[in-house]
Amino acid sequence: MKIIGIDPGTSVTGIGIIENKKGHTSLIHYDTIVLNSKKTLPERLKIIYDSCLKCISQFGPDEFAIETAFYGKNIQSTLKLGQARGVAIIAALNSDLKIAEYSPREVKKSVTGNGASSKEQVQYMVKSILSLKNNMPADSSDALAVALCHFNSLQNCFGKTSNKKNGNSWKTFAENNPGRIISKKVK
């Protein structure tokens, strides 16, 4: 299963793609889209959309995960972040990918065990989990953390990865977790 993670922003957007094969998670690709602040917001949004679409087309992920917007003191920044998220999500929808969204706190907790971790701690754990030796931009490691969070979420939900291609479904979940299913007989 391949998962693309996005750390959206109108100045810098991080993209990270991981793959899990037979219980081993590895890095497929990462990129940082540094956007020129002299360009208009619509031009930057188009670059984010096109870059996401290109990565999806090139690497063929099965799932899409993105970090949610958080409310800061500057409402204009929050609105622009929402627009960056929107174009990335539209790229995923136009590619028929399932969308998952995680708060920054959820991502940090999933990857480091602590929802209040620093960017450096997240980057360290991403490098450790993916056995990477080289440093990478913080936005790329954040995007990879989003992808890892989604994978961990699928693991926790289904007890193993969920992928339409290999037949995992709610039926498989119910078969693997009979104690977690409540059924009522309809008369």
CA-CA distance, 184 to 186, in Å (whole number)? 6
Confidence at 140, pLDDT banded by 50, 70, 90:
very high
14-36 mean pLDDT:
94
**Is 7 annotated in the active site?**
yes
pLDDT at 76: 85
CA distance 99 to 108: 19
16 within 8 A of 4, measured Cβ to Cβ: yes
Catalytic entry in 62, 67, 106, 142:
67
Please pick, among 62, 63, 139, 142, the residue that the annotation labels catalytic: 139
Of all helices (H) and strands (E), which one includes residue 59?
A: helix 41-59
Instruction: Tell me how far CA of residue 99 lies from CA of 42, 68, 119, 180, in angstroms.
Output: 23, 12, 24, 25
Residue 166 pLDDT exceeds 50: no
The yes-or-no verdict on residue 52 having pLDDT over 70 is yes
pLDDT tens digits along 76-113: 888 888 999 999 999 999 999 999 999 999 999 999 99
Which amino acid appears at position 14 of this protein? G
Active site residue 142: no
Domain spans of the chain, in order of start: 2-162
Contact partners, residue 73, CB within 8 Å, separation at least 6: none
Q: What is the CATH number of domain 2-162?
A: 3.30.420.10
Per-residue confidence band for 177, with pLDDT thresholds at 50, 70 and 90: low
Residue from 7, 31, 62, 142 carrying the catalytic annotation: 7
